[in-house]
């Protein structure tokens, strides 16, 4: 199980209120993964991923990852793109947790 931080609909709506994406249609915790909590979001019928960074991730490292994904997208490399919040930042703070919303890429989790 990889949903360490449990959110209810109201929590997701509060997080989304800091973005200009629209209304939440649905959300679901993503069970795959080992380090962070991830949620699939459907907002105005568009797909996103919300990643909640858990204790093992250093907050000072997060800007590197968001800048890397942004730069890769600018060079037409297919990877999730960070969505900027209303403060024009990729990283959002919510209830003492760092998180980021990124665009959704179709595909499947790799099975090992």
Give the model confidence (pLDDT) of 66-79 as tens digits: 999 999 999 999 99
Does the pLDDT value for residue 48 go beyond 70? Answer: yes
For residue 72, what pLDDT is reported?
Answer: 96
Q: Pairing relation of β-strands 92-94 and 97-103?
A: antiparallel
- How far apart (Å, rounded) are the C-alpha atoms in residues 27 and 59? 25
- Which one is predicted more confidently, 38 or 1? 38
Sheet holding 37-43, edge to edge: 24-30, 37-43, 46-53, 97-103, 92-94
Confidence (pLDDT) at 69: 95
40 by Cβ neighbours in 10 Å (0-12 / 13-18 / 19+) ranks as middle
Confidence bin at 112 (pLDDT 50/70/90): low
pLDDT in tens, 92-102: 999 999 999 99
CA 16 – CA 11 distance, rounded (Å): 9
């Amino acid at each position: 199980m990889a949903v360490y931080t449990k959110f209810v609909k109201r929590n997701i709506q509060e997080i989304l209120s800091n973005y200009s994406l629209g209304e939440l249609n649905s959300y679901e915790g993503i069970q795959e993964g080992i380090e962070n909590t991830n949620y699939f979001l459907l907002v105005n019928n568009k797909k996103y991923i919300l990643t909640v960074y858990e204790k093992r991730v250093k907050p000072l490292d997060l800007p590197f990852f968001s800048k890397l994904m942004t730069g890769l997208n600018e060079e037409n490399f297919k990877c999730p793109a960070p969505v900027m919040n209303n403060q024009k930042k990729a990283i959002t703070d919510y209830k003492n947790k760092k998180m980021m919303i990124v665009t959704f890429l179709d595909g499947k989790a790799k099975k090992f």
